[in-house]
Structures are given as structure tokens and as C-alpha cells.
Structure 1
Amino acid sequence: MIPDSFPCQLISWDESYELGRRLAYEIKRSGFRPDLIVAIGRGGYVPARVVSDFLLFSLLASI
């Protein structure tokens, strides 16, 4: 049987942007340098782009 809904948390653009900013900060602070950032379709491209922008990193792919 296919459910009519599933549990999820809706967040605003401002919350999404802030989460991306914080994630980029933590990545920078750790010293990790990614080879590639992968964005997952169905809503993942924009957050991945925000993180890559904060990291000043241009190698972004999507699937």
C-alpha cells in the first residue's frame, strides 16, 4: 500500500540558507577540501549550490 503522506519537516528559504552557511563553516573549520559536491535532485540542488558558494567551490554535479 502506498502511503498518502510521509513525515517531513518543511523549512523556509531563510532556514535553508542558514543551514547551508553553517555547514560550509563546519567544513571550512574541519580543514576538509572536497573534490566534488554532489547535489541530489528533487530539492537538493539549491542547498548544495549555497554550500558550494560559501566554500568558494565551483565543482558541483547533480544526479
Structure 2
Amino acid sequence: MKTLYDVQQLLKKFDIYVYVGKRIWDIEVMALELDHLHEAKLISQDEFLHAKMVLNREHRVEEKKQK
């Protein structure tokens, strides 16, 4: 898992589609959804960690764009 698109595809497997309107907000909601999937043990630890790393990187990129 290397891109935000990959994370979106993972969420899509569980019929989770995120569109809030602002990219940084979408990333934050995706992170919350990932947390819920992980707590429910629906995704592996490996998938969870890779997806969170991607989201953290994308979140930092968006924060830099806003400054």
C-alpha cells in the first residue's frame, strides 16, 4: 500500500466511501474508519499500519499546502 488511492480501495472493500469535500478532512475521516476496522479485527495489523503511514504522509502534505 503506497498511495491514498490504495487506502481508498481498501476501504471500498468494506463499502466505505469517504468524501467530505476537503482533501485533508477526507484523510482524517479515512483514518477514523481504519481505526474502526482495525478495532473490529476486519483488517490485519500489517494492512492497518501501512494504511496509517500513507494517511499520515498525505496529511502532512496537505498541511504544508495550506501554509
Question: TM-score, normalization: structure 1?
Answer: 0.38
Higher helix share: 2
More strand by share: 1
The structure showing larger relative contact order (alpha-carbon pairs under 8 Å, at least 6 residues apart) is 2
TM-score (norm 2): 0.36
Rg: which structure is higher?
Answer: 1
